[in-house]
Structure 1
């Protein structure tokens, strides 16, 4: 385990460690929020999480504050992905007016004679150079500020102009309060955790969690594997999983992980019984059977009641819980019970619980347990990379204490 990587990031300077008075501050925020057809925001958590950093700069008399974010994956400029759709919500949550800049040149004119005003720049992914980490765009962005603040944890695993390139040219480059909180929470769970440490891992693919499983064996004492990815592990044990989603090309990798865990004395828990169905969308039959007895033509879609009980006991005996990935098709009510029961079990403990990944956070929301978790990360891909023991590219370029 690269314990050092999380420690390195923990020493990143934050906006609290510098003086922003009378300085132009550019904050890379993550306003990539989910929207309905009429551009109504269905979840503004990411905007709310950015408020402490913005307010800190305002309260400490920054000359101007430029907010830079992406929204979606636009191909060129497109009204559908304009940040104009979020500005009203930003204003309401900040309790003040926010200027909107269609382009970088606009920002410069809005900064003239600025006195603490907040400016939101149009979607940074409208610029072709953003995802290419173009030098030209990085310089342009850096010219807008004296202080660069990265508060977009959700995109910190990407080396883009607004997350990495800009730091090369900014006079001061520090972490925002959200980014700092994210790193400190992961450090608490991984670098110096209260033991025993439990990893709950789910989702559909083993392939996306391989690096995590190998790396985390040095940190955790036990692992619960659920969701569709547990099917591959059950098949590695010789069970016939019938029509269940299985990554056949990774069965030998699953076996290797089980063997590594045994060598490191990490206990792995897999479903002992499953809920299976003949069809996910139009299910006529739903059965609960032992994991090794999935009926012919059926597929496992959730854990069974015995597994729920077993997993809840494992949760109860843990002091630190890291959870990444739902443990069943929680979006469909008939197959959500396993994930929701586990969410209730985690919320009932006194353990430090760290939740990573958008789907996991959504499942915990739907289970009504958001407020009972110690920390819910705002970034899926970034949190996965931290659990894999990597240093996030956007953190590597910030100043150290």
Structure 2
């Protein structure tokens, strides 16, 4: 991974610091249901403010498509950020213009100000230079702490970074360091667990991983496609027939690169997908015609856990089964406990992706892993080996 600029040794006292954050928190009936993203941003804000910077926070929220949508205003999020920080946080109903200039001009050293949803302007997602320049006039330096938006070349993720002295915030730094430890220069042997419903959504990921890891565990419904391509009977299980040739190509390429692929040897199946239905454990090669695979079975889970014990580095993206619906969370929960134990014994473990974070939270092991990424698309694109514009703009 290319070196990038951090806040280490940077004098921010008295400076107007534009900080790109991700305030895109879950909001229901005007109330924020999860403060995790705000809590993870707070160390950078506290550090900058504590050193006397005037912290001006930029963020998108939802998808207003270049128009002002009141339900997508950042005003309530600014209030919640103030509660997380334990201090007053200002708010301005735009991210450019005279009102912003006046509010910024009135800031004292250490103040924190949140500007309105940047996506209220069409130029944000278009990475419009004119919009980036207008926003940049409000700051003297730029800090990007939104790794979760770094895969987008937008005005406030990439454009401004080309106009002002720019640095990675502490959350961005933590994400990049963790991912570099997992895939850049990992301690070997290194393994990856990839789950999910479709091979088609993770083709780039699988293709990249087989060149980087020693062990690749494939779970979730995507494993069905690989097994069916090898001639297994999958009953009513979800799989992608059109991708059978691609699955075989991936298996062949993995062998060429010396990457062991671990596929399920047994499944927990049911005739209906519902909570706590009648189930049975069957061979992964012989799912009954009227049944569907909804979780990997105990023998598969045992094999994965045993394989994990031999790793020094593990990256996890995607559950092994339909973990939201009991009892099809069993394999994912057992594996999560084993990963936590292996981490505490010295293995480096990095997890990420929306479903993965939800599963790890359900298992209660997030704090026991080395790092769990709060990013979704950016985490996936990094795993796919793609350059992220918001990161590239911070290159040293």
Q: 2 CA distance for matches of 1:53 and 1:73?
A: 26
Q: 2 CA distance for matches of 1:220 and 1:40?
A: 42
Matched, 1:100 2:94: no
Partner of 2:8: 16
Partner of 1:53: 44
Report the 3-state secondary structure (helix = DSSP H, G, I; strand = E; otherwise coil) of the residue aligned with 1:296.
Answer: coil
Matched, 1:33 2:25: yes
Of 374-383 and 105-114, the range deviating more from structure 2 = 105-114
Contact 1:142–1:167 (Cα < 8 Å) also in 2: no
Contact 2:211–2:254 (Cα < 8 Å) also in 1: no
Of 131-140 and 359-368, the range deviating more from structure 2 = 131-140
- Report the CA distance between 1:283 and its aligned residue: 7.1
Contact 1:225–1:270 (Cα < 8 Å) also in 2: yes
Report the 3-state secondary structure (helix = DSSP H, G, I; strand = E; otherwise coil) of the residue aligned with 2:5.
Answer: coil
- Report the CA distance between 1:35 and its aligned residue: 2.5
Counterpart of 2:261 (choices 259, 264, 268) is 268
Matched, 1:134 2:128: yes
Partner of 1:65: 55
Report the 3-state secondary structure (helix = DSSP H, G, I; strand = E; otherwise coil) of the residue aligned with 2:27.
Answer: coil
Alignment map for 1:336-355 (pairs within 5 Å): 336-349=329-342, 350=345, 351-355=347-351
Q: 1 CA distance for matches of 2:18 and 2:224?
A: 46
The aligned length equals 389
- Report the CA distance between 1:85 and its aligned residue: 2.1
Q: 2 CA distance for matches of 1:137 and 1:337?
A: 50
Partner of 1:221: 214
Of 161-170 and 139-148, the range deviating more from structure 2 = 161-170
Q: 2 CA distance for matches of 1:332 and 1:359?
A: 13
Partner of 1:208: 201
- Report the CA distance between 1:80 and its aligned residue: 1.7
Partner of 1:240: 233
Contact 1:277–1:283 (Cα < 8 Å) also in 2: no
Matched, 1:366 2:356: no
Matched, 1:377 2:373: yes
Structure 2, unaligned runs of 5 or more = none
- Report the CA distance between 1:180 and its aligned residue: 0.9
Partner of 2:79: 88
Structure 1, unaligned runs of 5 or more = 1-6
Contact 2:127–2:159 (Cα < 8 Å) also in 1: yes
Contact 1:107–1:119 (Cα < 8 Å) also in 2: no
Q: 2 CA distance for matches of 1:52 and 1:282?
A: 40
Q: 2 CA distance for matches of 1:39 and 1:318?
A: 45
TM-aligned CA distance change 1:51 to 1:283, over 3 Å: closer
Q: 2 CA distance for matches of 1:17 and 1:327?
A: 44
Q: 1 CA distance for matches of 2:108 and 2:304?
A: 55
Contact 2:276–2:326 (Cα < 8 Å) also in 1: no
Deviation string for 1:234-282 (max 9, x for gaps)?
Answer: 1111112121111112111111111111112211111111111222137
- Report the CA distance between 1:331 and its aligned residue: 0.8
- Report the CA distance between 1:121 and its aligned residue: 0.9
Alignment map for 1:168-179 (pairs within 5 Å): 168-170=162-164, 172-179=165-172
- Report the CA distance between 1:399 and its aligned residue: 4.4
Counterpart of 1:334 (choices 314, 327, 332) is 327
- Report the CA distance between 1:197 and its aligned residue: 0.6
Report the 3-state secondary structure (helix = DSSP H, G, I; strand = E; otherwise coil) of the residue aligned with 1:292.
Answer: coil
Matched, 1:317 2:317: no
Q: 2 CA distance for matches of 1:115 and 1:15?
A: 21
Of 183-192 and 72-81, the range deviating more from structure 2 = 72-81
- Report the CA distance between 1:168 and its aligned residue: 2.4
Structure 2 length normalisation: TM-score?
0.95
Of 209-218 and 225-234, the range deviating more from structure 2 = 209-218
- Report the CA distance between 1:141 and its aligned residue: 1.2
Q: 1 CA distance for matches of 2:311 and 2:101?
A: 53
Q: 1 CA distance for matches of 2:274 and 2:311?
A: 36
Q: 2 CA distance for matches of 1:159 and 1:243?
A: 41
Partner of 2:33: 42
Of 266-275 and 80-89, the range deviating more from structure 2 = 80-89
